Structure 1
Amino acid sequence: MKTLLLFVMFTMLIAGCSSPEQNSTAAREQQPPPSIIRDAGEGRSGQIRLSPEQVNTLKIKTFTADTARVAFPLSIPAVAEAAPDYLSIISAPIEGIINKIYAHEGDRVKKGQLIMEMESLEFARILGDFFTSEANLRFSAEQLERVKQLYAKKIKSKKELQEANTQYIQATTARNAYRAQLNALGITEADLQTWRQQSSLHAHLPIRSAIDGIISEHMADLGQAVQRYQRLGKIINNGMVLVRGYAAPEDGIFIRRGVSAVVSRRSDPQTGITTSVHSYVPALDEQNRSIVVITYVGNPPEWLSPGRNVRLTLMARPDQPVISIPARAVIDDGNKKAVFVR
């Protein structure tokens, strides 16, 4: 019984000693920063009164805080990517075998420049059908003209004229269909003219660059068999880059299309390129849980390279008036910030 009584008294003593300290800690968390606490009597905690001489000595300046729609910089992380119209994927338009390669990874190419050639049985069949359809079209045109002349002399009947005209239309349709297939394969009229002049037809399917740029990816080897639409490489033009920024959800109210923005490199934050917000996605990005901001930047002498991390600083402007306070008027007191108000 004596042991139980001593244990209860010891427990009460500990509780009595710890309670004031916890209350004191909670009270300190609600107090103003230590630098502005003054023992000035009840109702005057957090107030500082200065005489005119003290104001002049300390050179204190004041200003009137008012509500207004002010712009402020909003800096968010971003990454540079290749712009949509400045990126081209090299693909095999048809099944075949790579038999010639004229440009490799790292080479600079021009739009329309020949990159590689393919041998393809399917391409040879389409090309042969096209030249056959051209011959049939010429014959049908000559036949139609001859029947027209004979019909004018009452030698051919109207039915024969209609049949000749139908054969001409069919030949024209067939020729156009094969030409459309060659267009889909990237064959130009200059290519066809060259093959027309050859005594023996051994045409290779040319693969050309769609844009000016540098081959950043090369996935084809000499003699490699490729399938239709197989990826063979990639060409990038760094003259224009897309900058994709990631803003916090609470900052979404400040983002608007057309807002001025500055793109800067983390290694050189003082130097940047001015642009504007092209678009933004109001829904959160699934991977980063952020609002995606899209801008386009003209890239002078390839200042940025796709894949590089950058900073995107937006000039945010709230829809509603706010009270703005200069940063120099804010006192940093450790973990808390204070503003003196008169």
Structure 2
Amino acid sequence: MTRKRSVLALAVLASLAVGAALPSLFRAIKVGIAPNQQSQAIEPAPAEGEVRLSPAQIETSKISVKAVGPGDISRQLMAPAAITPDPDKIARVAAKVAGVVEELRKRLGDAVTRGETIAIIDSREVAEAKSEYLAALANFDLQNVLFQREKGLYEKKITAEQLFLKAKAAFMAAKVKLDLARQKLAALDMTEQEIAALPSQPIADLRRKEILAPISGRVIKRLVSIGQPVGGEGQSKELYIISDLSIVEAEIAVPAADLGLLREGQEVRIQNAEGRTFDGKITYVPATISQETRTGPVLARFLNPDFSLRPGSLIEAEISLKQARVKIKVPRSAVMMIDGKANVFVRTADGFAKREVELGRGDDNSVEVVSGLKPGEEVAVSNVFLLKAELGKQNIPEE
């Protein structure tokens, strides 16, 4: 009986010892045998300000990134403007002779080439000047022949010196008359080619005066009609106005307060009705302003090779003002205001991390980062609001 009690007591003591050792044994098995399974089951929470996204999630969300670095910050000034012809490319075609318009060969809007005949004037004044020149030319040719003959005879001692000198004086007088007749034709706007062609010209054409285009361009005004008297006292002298529209000007109404910021050579951008943009430069900044509108008419010049900028069009001009070079420039779309402070989202190996930055100068599209970023770091520049929203979800306390 005593032996049975001793065995029972030993069994109870063994059971208690095994029960006390089981928890330690289970912990050892959990830690020592399956540590990898434990780490996979319990993933550490994201750090504060971190948004974890896989490359696939970033691509699906269309979040683009850009490396930051130095750049230029510039201010833009918007002002209304009107397209005008370049005054250096405008020609007023006038009739320098009195007569009647016989032909008008160009209509409004027609293209013309320099030296092309664009009108013909029937002029008695021109006929008289041409006749005078032809007579002077014939007399000069005659006196030249006589002079050369007398000169030859005098050199051979066949004729007297008096006859030679008389022939020489007549020749010189004929030359003076010819030069005066030629100058008169030149004053009537006849070219050397036209004057040289006069001896072979038909008599019926002596009254005709061809009007030539002084420049290449387009007819923007036709000021007379066929049969209209021109060139006389009290009569119109201008026939056409031609403009070369391959270069145009924009007259920009800039407020008086901004005139001091403008300089000749500054870049200007305009847009026509079709949405095309054109780049030009300021050519004139006024020293005075209009008392009525309190603006100054600033002029800028633009190339217009296909004539899509039409004089008279009202447009909006964008003037680039002072530029400043900064060490780090980011797009404005990259900056998010979080808790009243400027932040950007920097690309990391696991996604993005919010970072507070200090901003400096800026323009309409970009802003300077004074501190908080280093050159070469990549930041989110599109759909950044998605990162801000995701970060806000993480900050919501759990119940």
TM-score of the alignment, normalized to the shorter chain, above 0.5: yes
For Structure 1 versus Structure 2, the TM-score category normalised by the shorter chain is 0.5 to 0.7
The one-letter amino acid of 2:239's match is L
* Conserved 8 A contact 1:281-1:293: yes
Paired residue type of 1:226: V
Structure 2 residues without counterparts, runs of 5 or longer: 1-47, 51-71, 325-359, 368-399
Counterpart pick for 2:279 among 249, 274, 281? 274
In the other structure, the counterpart of 1:95 is: 98
Larger Rg: 2
Q: Which residue of 2 aligns with 1:226?
A: 230
Matched, 1:119 2:156: no
Residue by residue over 1:196-218, the C-alpha shift from the partner in whole angstroms, topping out at 9 and shown as x without a partner, is: 22453432111122222332222
Are the structure 2 counterparts of residues 195 and 315 from structure 1 closer, same or farther at C-alpha, using a change threshold of 3 Å? same
In the other structure, the counterpart of 2:247 is: 240
CA separation of 1:127/1:326 partners in 2, compared to 1, >3 Å: closer, same or farther?
A: closer
Partners of 2:154 and 2:291 in 1: CA distance: 74
- Partner Cα distance (1:325, 1:111) in 2: 50
What is the TM-score of this pair, normalised by structure 1?
0.66
Alpha-carbon deviations, 1:241-275, whole Å to 9, x = none?
1222222222122111211221223x466x41112
Label 1:75 to 1:173 Cα distance change in 2 as closer, same or farther (>3 A): farther
CA distance in 1, matches of 2:287, 2:192: 47
Find the residue that maps to 1:281 and give its secondary structure. Answer: coil
- Distance change (3 Å), C-alpha of 1:70 and 1:184: farther
SS of residue matched to 1:71: strand
Tell me if 1:298 matches 2:320.
no
Tell me how far 1:162 sits from its aligned partner: 4.6
Given the alignment of the two structures, is residue 215 of structure 1 paired with residue 219 of structure 2, yes or no?
A: yes
Pair 103,155 (structure 1): closer, same or farther in 2 beyond 3 Å: same
1:77-99 deviations in Å (ceiling 9; x for gaps):
22111112432222221111112
1:260 and 1:326 map into 2 onto residues whose CA distance is 16
**Deviation digits for residues 223-250 of structure 1, max 9, x if unmatched?**
2212346122222332111222222222
Q: Distance in 2 between matches of 1:241 and 1:188?
A: 30
CA distance in 2, matches of 1:134, 1:103: 35
Residue 333 of structure 2: aligned partner:
none
Compute the displacement of 1:131 (Å). Answer: 0.8
Distance 2:266 2:231 in 1: 46
Query: Which of 118, 130, 153 is the equivalent residue of 2:133?
Result: 130
Distance in 1, Cα, partners of 2:265 & 2:138? 58
Contact 2:76-2:363 within 8 A present in 1 as well: no
Report the equivalent of 2:76. Answer: 73
Matched, 1:308 2:345: no
Are the structure 2 counterparts of residues 172 and 230 from structure 1 closer, same or farther at C-alpha, using a change threshold of 3 Å?
same
Query: How many angstroms does 1:109 deviate by?
Result: 2.5
1:83 aligns with 2:86: yes
The alpha carbon displacement at 1:168 in A equals 3.1
Contact residue 116 and residue 206 of structure 1 kept, 8 A: yes
* Cα distance in 2, alignment partners of residues 149 and 310 from structure 1: 77
Q: Would you say 1:171 and 2:174 are equivalent positions?
A: yes
Identity within the alignment, %: 20
**CA distance in structure 1 between the aligned counterparts of 2:216 and 2:143, rounded to whole angstroms:** 43
CA distance 1:98–1:276, change in 2 (3 Å): same
- CA RMSD, aligned part only? 3.3
SS at 2:285's partner residue? strand
- The aligned amino acid for 1:206 is E
Can you give the 5+ residue segments of structure 1 that lack an aligned partner in the other structure? 1-54, 58-68, 330-342
1:315 and 1:326 mapped to 2: Cα distance? Answer: 10
1:1-342 to 2 correspondences below 5 Å: 56=49, 71-156=74-159, 160-192=163-195, 194-198=197-201, 200-203=203-206, 204-228=208-232, 230-265=237-272, 267=273, 271-285=276-290, 288-317=293-322, 324-325=361-362
CA distance in 1, matches of 2:202, 2:254: 65
Please give the alpha-carbon distance, in whole angstroms, between the structure 2 residues aligned to 1:285 and 1:164. 71
Corresponding residue SS for 1:251 = helix
Aligned length: 263
Q: 1: CA distance between counterparts of 2:105 and 2:114?
A: 14
Please state whether the residue corresponding to 2:264 is helix, strand or coil.
coil
Displacement of 1:305 in angstroms is 0.7
Q: Normalized against structure 2, the TM-score is what?
A: 0.57
Matches of 1:136 and 1:286, distance apart in 2 = 66
User: Which deviates further from its counterpart, 183-192 or 249-258?
Assistant: 183-192
**Distance in 1 between residues matched to 2:296 and 2:159, nearest whole Å:** 76
Report the AA paired with residue 257 of structure 2: E
Higher share of residues assigned strand = 2
Letter of the structure 2 residue corresponding to residue 138 of structure 1:
D
Letter in 1 for 2:209: L
Q: One-letter code of the match for 2:270?
A: V
Task: Give the direction of change, closer, same or farther, for the CA distance of 1:162–1:292 in structure 2 (3 Å limit).
Answer: farther
For 1:22-69, what per-residue CA distance to the aligned partner results, in whole angstroms no more than 9, with x for missing partners?
Answer: xxxxxxxxxxxxxxxxxxxxxxxxxxxxxxxxx959xxxxxxxxxxx9
